[in-house]
Amino acid sequence: MAETKIALLPDRGAVSVTGEDAEKLLQGTITNDMALLASQPAIHAGLLTPQGKILFSFFVVKTPDGFLLEAARDSTRGLAERLRLYKLRAKAEIEDASSDYSVAAIWGGPYAPHGRGKQPIWFPDPRLPEMGFRELVTIGSDWALAGDQASSATADEYHAHRISLGVPEAGRDYVLGDTYPHEALFDQLSGVSFKKGCFVGQEVVARTQNRSMSRKRIVPVVGETALPEPGASIVVGSVEIGRLGSVEGARGLALIRLDRVKELTAKGEPLMAGNVPVRIEIPDWATFSLAQYASSPST
C-alpha cells in the first residue's frame, strides 16, 4: 500500500478573485502578503473584523486568470460577499467557485498529480511541511485522486493527521468571529505578515505581536484515556480555562488560557477535559512554551 494518503474534503470550497485589481484588493484586506506568491505556490491567510478577529480562514493560490481562495465550503459565500464590500471601485470579479472544484488533502509521502484534461491546482500546504499538499480538481476532471501513487483515505483520517501535528482548523478548534489570529496560531503557521503593511484588523494583530505573548493559544492536549466530545470544558479545579476542539482518541486540540495553567496547577489540582486528566504537549515547531507563560506576566 502506498505510504502517501489522499482524502477528499467535501466540506472545503473555493472563491475566485480575478481582474486587474485582484491582487491589490487582496493585499489590502487579508492577513498575509500576496507578494509571497512570486516565490511560493500558496499562502495561508485570513480576513479579519476591524477589531482583529478572524472571520474567514483560507489558502490563496495563483491561477492563470487570478486567484483562488480555498476555504470552508459553508463560508465561501460569506467570504465572497465580504470581499465585495471592500471592492469599491477596484476592477475585480469575486465569485463563489465551490461548485467547480473537489478539494483533497495529501500527506505521508511524495505525490504528483497525474491524469488527462485540465490540470488540477496543486500546492504544498503552506502552514507546515508535514501537513503535505492540497489539491483542487475541476469537477468532472479525469485527473486521478488516488492510484499507485497514493491510497485513498477518509476526511477523518486527515483530521487525525492534523490533530497529531497540532494544526488547528477554523470551525473545529476555534470560533470564527470570536478568535484572534495569535490564538489560532496564525503567527506560528505562516498565516500573517508583520511586514507588509495595512490590512483589515492589522493594528490589533500588530499590538499583540509587539507584546510578545497571547495569553490564549490552541495547543495539543493528551488524555490519560479517550477524551470527551469536542466542546468539553478544560478546567483546573472549579476554574474553566479553555475548551476542547478537535478530538481523535486520547489526543485533541484545545484553546486554553496558558497564563493560568501554571498558577492553578501549582495548587495541586490536575488539568481536566471533562472528567479526563490531560497534559499539554506544545509542538516542536512552536516558538512559544509553557515555561514562557510561567515566567512572564499575562497580557
196-224 residue pLDDT tens: 989 999 999 999 998 877 899 999 999 99
- Whether residues 138 and 286 fall in one domain: no
- Whether residues 146 and 219 fall in one domain: no
Q: What pLDDT was estimated at residue 20?
A: 96
* Average pLDDT estimate for 261-271: 87
Q: How confident is the model at residue 178 (pLDDT cuts 50, 70, 90)?
A: very high
- Whether residues 45 and 151 fall in one domain: yes
Q: Is residue 39 part of a domain?
A: yes
Q: Is residue 64 part of a domain?
A: yes
Q: Is residue 197 part of a domain?
A: no
- Whether residues 153 and 259 fall in one domain: no
Provide the β-strand partners of residue 124: 133
Specify the CATH number for the domain of residue 277. Answer: 2.40.30
Structural domains counted in the chain: 2
Q: Is residue 287 part of a domain?
A: yes
Q: Taking the alpha carbons of 286, 237, 244, 60 in that order, is the dihedral positive or negative?
A: negative
Contact 165, 131 (CB under 8 A): yes
Query: Which residue range(s) make up the domain with 119?
Result: 5-165
Specify the CATH number for the domain of residue 130. Answer: 3.30.1360.120
Q: Is residue 74 part of a domain?
A: yes
Closest CA to 22 of 95, 122, 94: 94
Q: Is residue 195 part of a domain?
A: no
What's the whole-number average pLDDT of the chain?
Answer: 92
Q: How far, in Å, are 176, 197, 274, 285 from residue 161 at the CA level?
A: 22, 34, 23, 15
18-37 residue pLDDT tens: 999 999 999 999 999 999 99
Q: Is residue 233 part of a domain?
A: yes
- Does residue 23 sit in helix, strand or coil? helix
Closest CA to 30 of 187, 147, 158, 199: 199
Name every residue whose Cβ is closer than 8 Å to that of residue 29 and which is 6 or more positions away in sequence.
47, 83, 86, 199, 200
Residue 255 has pLDDT above 80, yes or no: yes
